[in-house]
Structure 1
Amino acid sequence: PIVVTHTDKNALEIVDGFHRHEIGKGSSSLKLRLKGYLPVTCLEGTRNQRIAATIRHNRARGRHQITAMSEIVRELSQLGWDDHKIGKELGMDGDEVLRLKQINGLQELFADRQFSRAWTVK
């Protein structure tokens, strides 16, 4: 099915299945067979939860781009999600979250972290 969510404007937004939707709209034989309807399931949740759901759907099919994923991890981090929550919601382990954060730059993403003082060898 096509996965959708309700928007503030009383409309539906496609979370997963955009290409199926386009094919369903454009194929007259498919329209006839499905009587003009496409199977849809509605997903509830916040924008961040919808982003996470889209990523999970794409990862399940093996379709995710590293640069796009790192941007999403950066955005979720800026919205206050910690590494554990990002990993849990996106189906990643801690190392993968860290690697994706590193792609977009360390300074901004690790600004809230406490580091130990440097030491030197005498």
Structure 2
Amino acid sequence: MKRGRDAQPLSRIEWVHRDDLHANGYNPNHVAKPELELLKVSILEDGWTQPIVARPDGEIVDGFHRWTCSGDPRLYALTDGYVPVVRLEPPATGDQMLSTIRHNRARGEHGVLPMAAIVRRLRDEEGLTVEEVMVRCGMEREEVTRLYDRGGMTERGTVGKAEFSKGWTPTR
């Protein structure tokens, strides 16, 4: 266990040219094309907010998709092809693979109802158009529409009622 701020890999972020990094041969993570495009939008709008994690020899432990996106001419131009990197020195390949899995799995997944609440807020309170939500969240129109509708579904069915109707109660 690394204790103290100075001992943390994040304290040693360096800007490395993307050509000095390379993929590992085992990453089980796959990102679909729409999400890859969303990652590009994220970096273009927010900048580089997460470093790529690599071994000293440039083999990527985590951040393969950020590295892939960095080859897009628009992202490349942001930093002249340089990407933020944190170096790890896992003692063995097995430890490196475990690190990759931990990084991938720790991100979790989005729940439908919390996403519906976010879409509803973006539209109703923040004033974004459907098109803005589509582009900036990497969603299709139908997904925005369904999430927006879902965000108000529970309130709509219970307006003026203390509880759900008997039709919602299982008899067995």
TM-score (norm 2): 0.32
Whose RCO is larger (CA < 8 A, sep 6+)? 2
Structure label with greater radius of gyration: 2
